Structures are given as structure tokens and as C-alpha cells.
Structure 1
Amino acid sequence: MNDMDTRARARIDLGALRANVAALRARTPGAAFMAVVKADGYGHGMVRCARAALAAGAGWIGVATPEEALALRAAGIGARVLCWLWTPGGPWRECVEADIDVTVSARWALDEVTRAASETGRTARVQLKLDAGLGRNGAQPAEWPGLTAAARAAEDAGLIRVTGLWSHFSCADEPGHPSIARELAVFRTALAQAEEAGLTPEVRHMANSPATLTLPEARFDMVRPGIAMYGISPVPQLGGPADFGLRPVMRLTARLASVKRVPGGHGVSYGRHYVTPGETTLALVPLGYADGVPRHASSAGPVLVAGKWRVVAGRVAMDQFVVDLGGDAAEAGDEAVLFGPGDDGEPTAEDWARACGTIAYEIVTRIGPRVPREYVDTADGPAAVPADSGGR
């Protein structure tokens, strides 16, 4: 793939990802490392990022859905994989047969995984999740003693092995928030209750990206960074990626599809929310909300074109948006940089997040499959790494 053969690309720097894993591991000595690659590796490519993280010393891989976990196994990823977002009737049997660690947050889930274990004749690897205050998945503290006792009974029956106990913060990205200490205390109480029930897990874990960076007391036996692994700060109010020794992994670019002069008073995009203030040059960027560019970026999203930051002129459409170049020159085929590490003065994903009133997690994760991923490795030089069938 050369620079002129595609309308757009997301360049993924696997060398930067490995360096980020190394930097995060250096901050958490003694803790195992789970690389979270859910949502197609936060838009970066699940399989390729999982392989890079394992090469950098990650011992576990984390995903949300069982389908993601099974896809990793199908791609040849043999490392420990944990998945956590289940619904009744899910592929419990397939995951048990694939030696995937499955999360149990309620008695119905324990019933389904023990049934799958009985049917397959294999011992299921199970991690119990506590709701320490986030209010999503996980057993309520009042339900926890009963769940741990039932899990211990299933262990005695040879149906499961409880490999982990875990929970998730609600406000770790707001350092000092009173919920943090409260949720840590709830989790510690739950760990003591599990021990009283006779459970001896391999790992206890609670630290997501912000907790990995800012809460040493929350690291327990393992940390599970997600967004930080991709070089985006989970606590931008405390510092950008470089302040934590991280480097953004994705660079999103497109080739201008059109450049033309228009008179003053010319409407731009749907609704004429932008009207040219005078004669000017308009450049068309062939990316839109079908590719993951937020419609909320209308009249707000920053783009580097012709050596300067521009702002989306008018509405973002399904497949394209326009920037006003003023008196500057450009040609069809020239590069527009939506975001990247910032090395060449381009915006970052955090800049887009601020412009759209969201978080950088969403900016990178929503980049869709119409945008090809090109894998490079700065550790080995600038040459592109060829994609394979597991590259997405």
C-alpha cells in the first residue's frame, strides 16, 4: 500500500504499542499484565495488537465478549484470555473447550458454565466479578458470599476452577474521587470473604488504565490497561501521553478528493451551517460518519491540511467533510491528517475528543472497517508491516 493508492488509512504503529506495554509494565513491577483488546483493539486491530502486546511481555489478553475471545483462539492466540460480557445462552461450551477464562457475575451464569463443563467433561476456568459500585456487571456485595460459596462447591465437584476475582472502578479517571477509596474497601472485603469460602484464585485485579497509572494500591496481582496501551492518556487532566511515557499508536489520514475555488456566500455541506465569508478554496476530505468521524465534529473537528490546522467547515456527512483553506493552496491527492501522535503538528485524538465533547477512547474506537489499517513498526524502521487475515 503506497501513499497514493487509498482514500484514507489508519496507520498503526506496533512498535509504539510494544513500547507502551513496556512503559506500563515498568510502572507496575510485580503485577501481571492483561492487555485489553476489546472492540477490535480499540479500533487498532484486535489480533495484531494482541500479538504485539504478548511480544512485549503481557501475560493475559482481555476482551469483552466471548465471540472476541473465540476469534483470538481462531487466530492462533494461545495465551490466557479473559472475557466478561455474557448473556444467557452464550457460547459457554465453546469457551470452556477453548480454555478461555470466563467471567461469572451472577448465579445464572455460574449455572450455565457448570452445565457446559459437565457436558464437555472439562474443568471450566472461571473468574468471579464483584460490583463494587459501578452498577454494571458483577455480583452485588450482598450476593457475593452466596456466589463464592456456590463457586467453591462447583470447584469441589471438579466442574470449575476459580482463576480470578475482580472488579472495576467507576471513577478512577477522576483522581481523588471519594468513590475510589470506597470501592477499594468493598473489593478488599469481598476478597476476604472469598478466602473464607476457600477460594484461592491465581489473580485478583481491579486496575484499569487510570488506576494502573495513578493508584498503586489498586494493582493487586494484575493490571489490565486498555486505552493507555494505545498511547492515549486516560487522565488528560493530569497529563498527556508523553507525561506517562506513552506514545499514540494510531495516525488517521485521508487524501483530498477535491480542491476548488468558490465565491463568497457559498454554502458548505448540508443545512448551510457554514457559508464562505469571501472567495476561498474548499478542500474535500473523503471521510465521514460512516467511517467513524463524529457528526459532533461538525464545525469543530481539527484537521491538518496544507501545513496548517483547519476546522471542519459545516456538517460532517456520511462519507465526507469540507475544510476551508482560505487563501492557501492544495491539490487533490494531498494528505489531510485528522489525528496522530502530534509529531508533525497534527491534532491528536484528545484534540478531537475536546472538540466533540467526548473522550479519546471513542475517537479511536469508532474508526470503522472502511478505513484500512496499515501496520508499521517504528522499532524496526518505517517499512509497513503487511496485513494478514487476522489483521483486523
Structure 2
Amino acid sequence: MNAPLRRARIDLDAYRSNLDLVRGWMAPVEVMAIMKADAYGHGLEPIALAAVDAGVRWIGVLTVPAALRLRSIGIGEDVHLFTWQHDPGLDFRDAIDSAIDLGVSNVTELQRVVDAVDQRPARVHLGVDSGLHRDGATADVWPDLVSLAVQAQRAGRIEVVAAYTHLAESSDDDDSAAVAVFDRAVEAAEDLGLDLPMEHVAASLAGLERKEFRKDMVRMGANLFGIPGADGVSAADLGLEPVMTLTASVAKTKRVPVDTGVSYDYTYRTSAETTLALVPVGYADGVPRLAQGRIEVTIAGKRYPIAGRVAMDQFLVDVGDDEVRVGDPVVLFGTGEHGEMTVLEWGEALGTIGEEVTCRIGARVPREVVGHEVGGRVGDYLREQP
């Protein structure tokens, strides 16, 4: 059976199953489905449409342009789209007019939002730096940010929706200290006359492990894609299903003698006469050069290690005397149900996390969306694509 040259299969049934499971765990707390980085490399639009069809009413997408993409495919204002990383030159008018929620962390940024308001107030979440130091207002800046928010809200320029922060997830003690910083910031805001209808603090790992941090809403990303972040915990342990399966096909085979140097720098030499199979996926597609000797791919249910340097467009595997032919399917990672490596195993082998693995899968790898929901709004969207 021949397989496509390269392909990432995206299983919407698995995503929906994970979503239902996580929402059940978090109930009665609201779940914001995080879809930054093109839905962790899975494809933003199909994932978002599937989530909305499942009843999700909060989606986080990092940037305003990504949120506008979702509005443009028919995701209406009954779904709140939260963004929090903004270009310093961004004109916020389109975002405000499209009812996109804006995470704001400093006075200058909030003033730009206020100045962009025209016909409707801007929906604003105020960010607190509780110790991660990537985003959020520090304690010395927070009073000024809150004071401006109070003035702008009273003037009808903004609607303050929530206060939020993000945790380092370094240790229980560190996270507890961070939440205490956040709680003090909320109290200070209330003392300055600001009503905060919502608070959201926890993301995937903290949301699972620290129930007391769930507040009014939990931001869930990796878990929804079947990539749990807890050390030593597999997707199967939690009942989650990996959403992406990365496959390719054998493009060429050749028989070579013993002690043949393979790929750049001859970092691998054959130990006997053997067959080499070429797989047309390389570091341009998200398979790092570091994968040599660490990653095994599966052909006909049997694992084979990557042999030699991973090149830009391909790598080789040593299949010995096995009958591997051109066109045979190759599974790079998947659910693990058929003996293949999972994305979590890739992360462990490469010294990283599963999210980085899926996010690195390049744009020239086609995403094939499967699952029963492809017949609904997702299907309508996919049929409209060139």
C-alpha cells in the first residue's frame, strides 16, 4: 500500500474526546481552549471550528491577526477570542470592532487600546506579572495600570473582563507564591475601585494538579492535543488521545555493503550488508538533526532507528534484510497503539516537550483532517480551501 510523501493526520474525534474529558475534569470552571502557534501545529481553523461545535465559548490564540482569521471563517461574537501578545505598531480598531479580548500588561499598551476605541468599548483583560516575567504588570506598575483602566471603564471606553496571570510551574511552592502575588494584585485593584468579573491563572498542568488555582477559568492547550505536561505521565495514563500522527512513505531503497558511510559526515556506518530506506522528511519539516540515534520510525509495525544525519529534506533508516519497498508507509509518531513512538516519546528522546515537536512540523507537511466532524462546519471550511 502506497502512502503520501509526507502527511500529518489530524484526528478531530480525538480532539473532541480530549475536550470533553478535560471539560468534565474542570467543571464547573470554564475552559479556554488555547490554540496559539496554529493550534500547536495542528491547523487553527479546523481545530477552532471543532471546538466551537463542541460548545467551547473561550478560545486563546495569542495574536489579534489569528483571532481575526477565526472571525473571518464565521466564528461569531458568542465565542470570546482572547489575545495577549501585541505588535507595538498594531492598530487595535479591527480587534475592538470584532469584539476580540485583549490582554494588556502596561499603561502604554492600554492607552493605545483606549485611543483606538470608536463605536464600542474594548474588552480588556489586565495581566499580572506573578513571577514568570514574560508578561503582566509588575507590582510597581500595577496601580497605574488599574487607575487608567478605572478611568477608561467609567468613560465607557473599555470593559474590564478579567485579571489574569501565568505560572512558571516550577514547583508547588513557587506556584503558590505566584498565586499569592496575583491575589494581592486583585485586592489592590478592588481597593482602587475596579470590579474584576473573572480571574484566570492556571494553564494545562496547574489546572490539572492544583484545583485551588482554577479560579473562574482554566486555559487548556497541550492536554487538548493529547500532550500532557506532567513528568512521566503519558496520554494513555490520563485517557487522552494524541491528535496528530506524522507519516511518510519510503521514497527509495538501496542495498549497500558492510562499513558503508551514511549521510553527511558519515556519523553512521553499516555493520553488515544491508538495505537503506530513504524517508522524505527532514529538518525543514520539523525532524531535527538531533534525531539521529534517538528516534525510531515504524515500517510495517517494526521500529527502525534513523541512520546518519537528518538532512533538510530526508533521512535514512537501516532496515537490514527486511523486505521494505518504495511506497511502504512510515509512521514517525502517532498514538502508540501499533508500536510506533508517540509525540511524548519524541520529546523525551530529544530532550524537549511534545508541544515543541508538533509546533515544529513545517508548513509543507500537508494536514489531513479526519474524524466525523469533517462532515459539518469543518468540512465546509475544508472544501472552500484551494
Same fold (TM over 0.5): yes
Native 8 Å contact 1:47 1:390 kept in 2: no
Offset, 1:386: 8.0
Native 8 Å contact 1:64 1:83 kept in 2: yes
SS state at 2:201 partner: strand
Against the structure 1 CA distance between its residues 231 and 311, is the aligned structure 2 distance closer, same or farther, given a 3 Å change threshold?
Answer: same
Q: Cα deviation per residue 1:285-306 (whole Å; 9 max; x = unaligned)?
A: 1001111112221232221123
Q: Distance in 1 between matches of 2:384 and 2:335?
A: 25
Native 8 Å contact 1:69 1:100 kept in 2: yes
2:220 is the alignment partner of 1:225: yes
Q: Distance in 2 between matches of 1:86 and 1:267?
A: 49
Counterpart residue type for residue 229 of structure 1: L
Match of 2:296 among 291, 299, 302: 302
Against the structure 1 CA distance between its residues 361 and 228, is the aligned structure 2 distance closer, same or farther, given a 3 Å change threshold?
Answer: same
Q: Tell me the equivalent position of 1:328.
A: 322
Counterpart residue type for residue 253 of structure 1: T
SS state at 2:305 partner: strand
Q: Tell me the equivalent position of 1:154.
A: 152
Q: Distance in 1 between matches of 2:381 and 2:56?
A: 22
Q: Tell me the equivalent position of 2:182.
A: 187
Offset, 1:390: 7.7
Counterpart residue type for residue 81 of structure 1: L
Counterpart residue type for residue 192 of structure 1: E
Q: Tell me the equivalent position of 2:5.
A: 7
2:194 is the alignment partner of 1:199: yes
SS state at 2:140 partner: coil
Native 8 Å contact 1:296 1:356 kept in 2: yes
Native 8 Å contact 1:302 1:351 kept in 2: no
Q: Tell me the equivalent position of 1:278.
A: 272
Against the structure 1 CA distance between its residues 142 and 27, is the aligned structure 2 distance closer, same or farther, given a 3 Å change threshold?
Answer: same
Q: Tell me the equivalent position of 2:205.
A: 210
Q: Distance in 1 between matches of 2:166 and 2:90?
A: 22
2:252 is the alignment partner of 1:258: yes
Counterpart residue type for residue 151 of structure 1: A
Q: Cα deviation per residue 1:240-290 (whole Å; 9 max; x = unaligned)?
A: 112222111010000110122111111111111011111011111100111
Offset, 1:378: 6.0
Q: Tell me the equivalent position of 1:110.
A: 110
Q: Tell me the equivalent position of 1:353.
A: 347
Structure 2 runs not aligned, ≥5 long:
none
Q: Tell me the equivalent position of 1:62.
A: 60
Native 8 Å contact 2:301 2:338 kept in 1: no
2:285 is the alignment partner of 1:291: yes
Native 8 Å contact 1:274 1:314 kept in 2: yes
SS state at 2:120 partner: coil
The within-5 A match list for 1:85-100 is 85-100=85-100
Q: Distance in 2 between matches of 1:385 and 1:344?
A: 28
Counterpart residue type for residue 217 of structure 1: E
The more displaced of 272-281 and 56-65 is 56-65
Q: Distance in 2 between matches of 1:221 and 1:151?
A: 21
Q: Cα deviation per residue 1:121-146 (whole Å; 9 max; x = unaligned)?
A: 32111111111000101100221122
Q: Distance in 1 between matches of 2:15 and 2:133?
A: 31
The runs of at least 4 aligned residues of structure 1 exceeding 3 Å deviation read 378-381, 384-387, 389-392
Give the TM-score, by structure 2 length.
0.94
The within-5 A match list for 1:105-184 is 105-117=105-117, 120-171=118-169, 174=170, 176-184=171-179
Offset, 1:346: 0.8
SS state at 1:259 partner: strand
Offset, 1:36: 0.6
Q: Distance in 1 between matches of 2:226 and 2:295?
A: 20
Match of 1:34 among 23, 32, 35: 32
Offset, 1:91: 3.2
Native 8 Å contact 1:258 1:283 kept in 2: yes
Against the structure 1 CA distance between its residues 183 and 4, is the aligned structure 2 distance closer, same or farther, given a 3 Å change threshold?
Answer: same
Offset, 1:56: 2.3
Structure 1 runs not aligned, ≥5 long:
none
- Name the count of aligned residue pairs: 382
Counterpart residue type for residue 249 of structure 1: V
Give the TM-score, by structure 1 length.
0.93
Q: Distance in 2 between matches of 1:159 and 1:301?
A: 54
SS state at 1:61 partner: strand
Q: Tell me the equivalent position of 2:45.
A: 47
Native 8 Å contact 1:47 1:391 kept in 2: no
Offset, 1:391: 7.3
Q: CA RMSD in A?
A: 2.0
SS state at 2:227 partner: coil
Q: Cα deviation per residue 1:323-380 (whole Å; 9 max; x = unaligned)?
A: 1111211100001100011111110001111121111110011111111111111689
Offset, 1:170: 0.7
Against the structure 1 CA distance between its residues 105 and 286, is the aligned structure 2 distance closer, same or farther, given a 3 Å change threshold?
Answer: same
Native 8 Å contact 1:36 1:226 kept in 2: yes
Offset, 1:55: 2.2
Against the structure 1 CA distance between its residues 124 and 380, is the aligned structure 2 distance closer, same or farther, given a 3 Å change threshold?
Answer: closer
Counterpart residue type for residue 250 of structure 2: L
Native 8 Å contact 1:45 1:391 kept in 2: no
Offset, 1:236: 3.2
Q: Distance in 2 between matches of 1:331 and 1:302?
A: 18
Q: Distance in 1 between matches of 2:120 and 2:337?
A: 51
Offset, 1:19: 0.9
Sequence identity percentage: 45
The more displaced of 133-142 and 50-59 is 50-59
